Amino acid sequence: MLKKWILICFAILAISCSNEKSYTITASIDGVEDGRKVFLNFVDENKLSAKDTTTVTNSTFSFTGNIEAPDVYFISVDQIKNNFPFILENEDISLTMYKDSINTSTIEGTKENDLLQEYTKNANAIGKEIGALRSENAQAQKAQDTAWMNSLKGEYESLITKGAEFDTQFIKDNNESLMGLFILERKVRGKDIEANELKALFDAFPENLKQNRAGINISEILDAKVATAIGSIAPAFSAPTPNGDMLALNDVKGKIVILDFWAAWCGPCRRENPNVVNVYNKYHDKGLEIISISLDGTPKQQDPKALWLKAIEDDKLTWHHVSNLQYFQDPIAKAYNINSIPATFILDAEGKIIAKNLRGQALEDKMAELLN
């Protein structure tokens, strides 16, 4: 009897395994020799990582496997520039790839990828218009034609607005699809829409999609955007100082506090530092304090702490410094939704955020307004 039950259990297991959903990607790519490596990539901690590899045989290649949930993946071919983004699902997917233009390859097999191609077609059209304007602007600069440059500036701003509006409308029209969610995920990282509008777009998606990796990420970013909006109380934090002690935001009191996100490797940050030094020297005695949060700790830095300390010394930054040396994975950076630097937050004496991302003369003018 026991033996019979064991056989039944094995039979059920075999049926379950045979019914497990999986994906099959079949692709053609002319002009690529046999043996060339092909990579199935996904984004892991802001960099591409290979999930699988295969090789080209008779101008074709394929991948098989399964994933827990659909997501954006990328196919790249060794020694060929660019990669091809698509939505990987546990379905049959067919690709026609072009050696000389990988990112214009075509895909068939799922509704989500149909939407991706529709989006890409329209976004690329706007991108071409922007590219043409940039080329024309280069000519105008060469000719030193100020009137021409000013007219192009207006056209350029209109195209940027057109692109942003296209994204928003696409999200609204496709708020029951993963593709709409993935575009929103990219959009929440930008600065062209306020947090409340982004939240309204996200709230329109069904709950099952919100539990997708992208949905969870969007929710976290939106929480950080709301928490760091002008008028909000700045999120509390503590982190190691250069000498290893812990410094908390609440430990630093002043009439005005600047939170300055930077890094030793960040060229724009280093170029801005002399201006910040000037502002600090001018207004520190009037109640200005600064905490600089370093996002050093990139994989390319062999000794990020040494580079951080050297930059502090070289740039003569004589105020408070903290860092977890975790690059953009720094918990403070995540709490403040930092995805590019330099970035600044200006806090009043109660810790309320009263301004953001002021640099150069704008920072100097704001300090004069607040402390003179």
What CATH number is associated with residue 315? 3.40.30.10
How confident is the model at residue 147, as a pLDDT?
86
Is residue 313 in a domain? yes
Is residue 186 in a domain? yes
Residue 32, domain extent? 19-107
**Cβ atoms 294, 326 nearer than 8 A:** no
Asked if 302 and 285 sit in the same domain, the reply is yes
How confident is the model at residue 5, as a pLDDT?
38
d(CA 105, CA 83): 9
Asked if 91 and 131 sit in the same domain, the reply is no
Is residue 159 in a domain? yes
Is residue 312 in a domain? yes
Residue 3 CB-half CA count within 13 A:
0
Last residue of a domain, one of 107, 133, 153: 107
How confident is the model at residue 154, as a pLDDT?
86
**Cβ atoms 99, 80 nearer than 8 A:** yes
User: Residue 7: left (phi > 0), alpha (psi -120 to 50), or beta?
Assistant: alpha
Is residue 42 in a domain? yes
Beta pairing, strands 343-348 & 320-322: unpaired
Under-50 pLDDT residues of the chain: 1-19
Asked if 160 and 204 sit in the same domain, the reply is yes
Output the CA angle 356-360-362, nearest 5 degrees. 55
Residue among 121, 109, 116 at smallest CA distance from 86 = 116
How confident is the model at residue 140, as a pLDDT?
85
- Dihedral of CA 64/68/70/71: which sign? negative
d(CA 278, CA 360): 10
d(CA 37, CA 217): 32
Q: Residue 364, Cα to own-chain centre: how many angstroms?
A: 29
**Cβ atoms 55, 36 nearer than 8 A:** yes
Asked if 194 and 258 sit in the same domain, the reply is no
Number of domains in the chain: 3
Asked if 242 and 364 sit in the same domain, the reply is yes
Amino acid at 100: D
Asked if 83 and 136 sit in the same domain, the reply is no
Q: Is 108 helix (H, G, I), strand (E, B) or coil?
A: strand
d(CA 174, CA 167): 11
d(CA 119, CA 187): 14
Is residue 232 in a domain? no
- Dihedral of CA 351/355/359/363: which sign? negative
Is residue 169 in a domain? yes
d(CA 288, CA 370): 10
Q: What is the CATH number of the domain that holds 61?
A: 2.60.40.10
How confident is the model at residue 247, as a pLDDT?
96
> pTM of this prediction?
0.72
